[in-house]
Homo-oligomer: A and B are copies of this chain.
Amino acid sequence: MTTSLHHRAIENLGTRIVSGNLPAGHVMLAEQLEVELKVSRSVIREAVRVLQSLGLVETTKRVGIRVLPPSRWNPFDPQVIRWRLASDARGAQLRSLAELRAAVEPAAAELAAQNAPAPLRLELVDVAYAMRDAGHNGEVPRFLELDIQFHSLLLSGSGNEMFANLMGQVAETLTGRTVHGLMPDHPHEAALQWHVDVAEAISRGDSAAAREASDRIMRRTMSQMSDTWTEQPRVFIPVRR
């Protein structure tokens, strides 16, 4: 009752498709889904429309509802990301997000140093120092919270709405990293200082220093996580012409 029926239908089909349970090329009939999910046609139709806009299925007359291959999915949609994180491809999704983050955050730091509003800069500095303290004291949950806030502020301060939109996904990777025990109780001392460096550089408008310090953080986290990813298969999306 808490969520609407069509929403539940979307979740059901979305998770099954992304998990590979419903493979690409598999065709379903609207009528069959009605009885399977025990909902009416209108609910099915609304759910299919949303899945269609996400690139997960296509509908063809006289054929039915066909599941599309992963290369057609919208990899930036929050729902698709969530479903992938809940599937066997969780590792590959985390790597993709981490690579994206590693590319974007230094650029965001550079832009934030140029454009961020003054209050945001001040808050960023406060959070960086609070992070350092929490890290020294081994307060893991508080450190995670501040870490998410720091990187959210950084992305938001870039003034690029696409960068800012990655906040949610970044939070996923950070929490995922701590939940999976990939974070030590006491974060690396240099990394803590680099966060402070980023905040201070942004605060004084030094875009080059901000980018460089952020880049250092990203390179460290990437090298830290790369060990666990080597076995993840990479997917090459063909070029559409």
**Which residue numbers of A lie inside 8 Å of B, CB to CB?**
6, 10, 42, 45-47, 49-50, 53-54, 70-71, 74-79, 95-97, 99-100, 102-104, 106-108, 111, 115-117, 120, 149, 152-153, 156-165, 167-168, 234-241
Contacts and interface: CB of A to CB of B under 8 A. Distances in A.
Contacts of A159: 234-236
- Overall SS of chain A's interface: helix
A152 B103 contact: no
Given A6-B49, A76-B77, A99-B158, 16 more contacts: A42-B45, A45-B46, A47-B49, A49-B49, A49-B50, A50-B53, A76-B162, A96-B160, A96-B161, A96-B162, A99-B162, A152-B239, A156-B239, A159-B234, A164-B237, A165-B237
B96 A102 contact: no
Nearest first, the 7 closest Cβ-Cβ pairs linking A and B are A76-B76, A159-B234, A103-B107, A164-B237, A46-B49, A152-B239, A50-B53
Contacts of A111: 99
Contacts of A149: 239, 241
Residue in A116, A163, A236, A241 with the greatest tally of chain B CB atoms within 10 Å: A236
A99 B159 CA distance: 11
A237 B156 contact: yes
A49 B10 CA distance: 11
